[in-house]
Structure 1
């Protein structure tokens, strides 16, 4: 069972505190390659659709 904090809406993230989240975001923006599972799946899916149907707009 999770222990609730006494202050609603207050949470702590070690990754954010160490700057890991910001670093990952910066790398993703500069390379154009997402680092999250959902982002990777979206990118692969859009690539497949473009290959099948072309890049028509």
Structure 2
């Protein structure tokens, strides 16, 4: 089992500040957090599926 460890970032408050910013802007600052948020949006049903299908098509039309 993990016994934890010492972290300078936790000691000086970097981790807490990063978490506060993330909550305030509503966008996770970690890649896994962003992936989870996108997954929740896409799996919400019809609207999510519509966005998931139409977004690549719009990007293709705009950039090509």
**Normalised TM-score (structure 2):** 0.57
Q: Does 1:47 align with 2:41?
A: yes
Instruction: Name the Cα RMSD after superposition.
Output: 1.8
**Normalised TM-score (structure 1):** 0.63
Number of aligned positions between the proteins: 45
Q: Structure 1 runs of 4+ off > 4 angstroms?
A: none
Q: Does 1:18 align with 2:18?
A: no
**Structure 1: tracts of 5 or more residues without a match:** 1-8
